[in-house]
Amino acid sequence: MAAFPEVPGYELKKFLGSGAAADVFLAVDLKHSRLVAVKVMTRSRFSENVAVKRFIKEAQTISSLHHPNIVRVYEAGRSGTLYFMAMEFFPESLKQRIHSRQRLDPDEALTIANQVAAALFYAHKKGFIHRDVKPDNIMFRRDGTPVILDFGIARVLESTTQLTRSGMSMGTPRYMSPEQLNAKRVDGCSDIYSLGVVLFEMLSGTPPFKGSQTMAVIMKHVTEPIPSLPDELAAFQPLIERMMAKERAKRPGTEKEWQELVKPLFKPFKLPKAEKPEFGNISTAANREKTRLSGAGATSPTARQTSRSKVRKKARRSPRRLVLNLILVFTLTVWIFFNYERIPGMLLSIWITLRDLVASLIAKI
């Protein structure tokens, strides 16, 4: 096994993958004691000069973009002839998630697409087009947040810098827009087309256009109509049609247009209203059950009405009783106040009478 390259300040632990011009490693940031992904430029299918410029441009591009759904770069530098970039490490990619689940829950797929779209529209406002939106380049933080990365072939809008040859298309054919495949001018709408392909794959489990050869896939993107989603996902078809329109002018070009298309789609996948009665009107069900259990002995409507009438009459009499009781207490209190001196003598007389009565009863026995 070949030794890993040495990057100052980082201990490379594991090879994660490679791209057109760089290898990616899992590494430990020795200064901050954290896991990071280190991208090391080792080779290129282009000239070394072009590869170096593209690598530096990617680091500059990502460093200038500050968005919660765009990868964070911690450091970019050079050590001798080695160029490297240290960035966030992600435990899972969208490609892995689709592969493990076959297809994603509609709400989850739409949420991922919505957050990635927000990152792309932000990048477009800053003047950058990604040009390689695909499941491999969408990763997840540990809290589930989707993040887009790999701006290696990102293009600066209106830039005159030539890092690609004239008439040369850049990207991954399975996810590229018709204008990219035809090597025509691209703009932010090209990224939206690619995101539409990704959304179709998240929902259905497979890309919209497949083929054993790259050219066959290219021709389908350019000429064939967009396939239909399964019937249960038909609500998403208009969004897919807009995102993957052959004419870029028909695609959502602003975040406002995007939100107008997406917001209504989150609602249909909530709990259907038909199931709500199962949890509702408990009191009515309880009353029915009480009536069933009471059987023949159940109280008739007339009896219930009579009972309620009696209760109301008692309630009306209660205030009068209260007044009478108050008058009685008041009278007794007044009498005691004026006769308190005679009370002991009266009690003594009562006690003597009771004593004589008891004694006579005992004598008779």
Instruction: Encode 207-237 in three state secondary structure.
Output: CCCCCCCHHHHHHHHHHCCCCCCCHHHHHHH
Classify each residue of 31-64 as buried b or exposed e, where b means 16 or more C-beta atoms within 10 Å of its C-beta: eeeeebbbbbbeebebeeebbbebbebbbebbee
Q: What are phi and psi of 348, to 5 degrees?
A: -65, -45
Give the torsion through C-alpha atoms of 346, 351, 356, 357, to 10 deg. Answer: 100
More confident residue, 320 or 73: 73
pLDDT in the model for residue 286: 42
Most confident of the following: 203-217, 263-277, 320-334: 203-217
Q: What is the token pair recorded at 150?
A: 């790999």
Tell me if 63 sits within 8 A of 73, measured CB to CB. yes
Is 29 a catalytic site residue?
A: no
Helix (H, G, I), strand (E, B), or coil: what is residue 266? helix
Catalytic residue among 105, 107, 132, 150: 132
- The owner of tokens 């005679």 is 342
Q: In this predicted structure, what is the pLDDT of residue 51?
A: 67
pTM of the predicted structure, to 2 decimals = 0.67
Q: What is the DSSP letter of 175?
A: G
Which residues make Cβ contacts (< 8 Å) with residue 195, sequence separation at least 6? Answer: 113, 116, 117, 120, 133, 243
Q: Give the whole-angstrom CA distance, residue 54 versus residue 74.
A: 18
Q: Following CA atoms 336, 338, 344, 350 in sequence, which dihedral angle do they give, to the nearest 10 degrees?
A: -60
The listed range with the strongest mean pLDDT (15-19, 140-144, 286-290, 319-323) is 140-144
Give 120-152 pLDDT, tens digit per residue: 999 999 888 998 999 999 999 999 999 998 875
DSSP one-letter string for 78-93: EETTEEEEEEE--SEE
Please report how the helices 188-204 and 106-125 are oriented relative to each other, as an axis angle in degrees rounded to 10.
Answer: 170
Q: What does the mean pLDDT of the chain come to?
A: 78
Task: Give the pLDDT band (50/70/90) at residue 172.
Answer: confident
d(C-alpha 222, C-alpha 245), whole Å: 10
Q: Do 38 and 59 contact (CB within 8 A), yes or no?
A: no
The predicted pLDDT at position 349 comes to: 63
pLDDT of res. 152: 56
Asked if residue 307 has pLDDT above 70, the reply is no
Model confidence at 236: pLDDT above 80: yes
Residue 119 confidence (pLDDT) above 50: yes
Residue 310 in 3-state DSSP?
helix
Q: How far is CA 215 from the centre of its chain?
A: 38
Separation of alpha carbons 36 and 63, rounded Å: 16
Q: Which pLDDT value is given to residue 337? A: 61
- Domains of the chain: residue spans and CATH: 1-89 (3.30.200.20), 90-157+168-270 (1.10.510.10)
CA distance 28 to 12: 7
| pLDDT value, residue 241 | 97
Average pLDDT over residues 281-310: 48
Minimal CA–CA distance to 57: which of 131, 134, 4? 131
Q: How confident is the model at residue 282 (pLDDT cuts 50, 70, 90)?
A: very low
pLDDT at 275: 44
pLDDT at 155: 54
- For residues 148 and 137, the answer to whether their CB atoms sit within 8 Å is yes
Distance of CA 91 to the CA centre of its chain: 19
Q: Is the pLDDT of residue 80 over 60?
A: yes
Residue 69 and residue 120 in contact, taking contact as beta carbons nearer than 8 Å: no
Q: How far apart (Å, rounded) are the C-alpha atoms in residues 262 and 259?
A: 5
